[in-house]
Amino acid sequence: MKIHVLFVCLGNICRSPMAEAIFRHLVREKGLTEHFVIDSAGLGGWHVGSPPHEGTRNILKEKQIDPSGLIARKIRKEDLNTFDYILVMDRSNLRGVRELARKLERHRAEVRLLMEFAPEKGHSEVPDPYYDGRFSEVYELVEAGCRGFLNYLMNKHFSQETGNEN
């Protein structure tokens, strides 16, 4: 069984591709790559087909995380039945995904704010660095959220010692 995870932000060029790359990196470090399908998307389609923002690419490279292969796309209602978890960056994203979900009779995705998994950071949302350029601060929040989410999944789906599925 694979766990399907989708990260969502407004345009899919700053926060969600950063989360996708970080989470992919953390999963690889744990040796669990074959157990996951990881992607990102935006609520809006303004940047479809574009690579991540230069600030996102730069901070990922600075942290030795490969940003290659990340291409912006818009979320589709089908994603709500393809993915097990949809993690959004802020309440506006949460409203947007829930609005999309209302168009479906039912869906399988559990939709949550990423920062629910890093309460120690004292932030309920990940601010958009597109407007203020604070990519380092955003990286710290996203990385903490991704670590917390992976720990949550490890406890829920895998044996900690072996990485085997429960």
The whole-model pTM stands at: 0.94
Report all structural domains of the chain as residue ranges with CATH numbers, in order of start. 3-157 (3.40.50.2300)
Chain centroid to CA 111:
11
Counting Cα atoms < 13 Å in the Cβ hemisphere of 23 gives: 34
Cα atoms found within 13 Å of the Cα of residue 58, Cβ hemisphere only: 9
Burial class for 137, CB neighbours closer than 10 Å (0-12, 13-18, 19+): middle
Per-residue pLDDT of the chain (166 residues; tens, 9 = 90+): 899 999 999 999 999 999 999 999 999 999 999 999 999 999 999 999 999 999 999 999 999 999 999 999 999 999 999 999 999 999 999 999 999 999 988 889 999 999 999 999 999 999 999 999 999 999 999 999 999 999 999 999 886 544 555 5
Give the E-state strand segments of the chain in sequence order. 3-9, 36-42, 85-88, 110-113
Residues annotated as catalytic (active site), given as ranges: 9, 15, 128
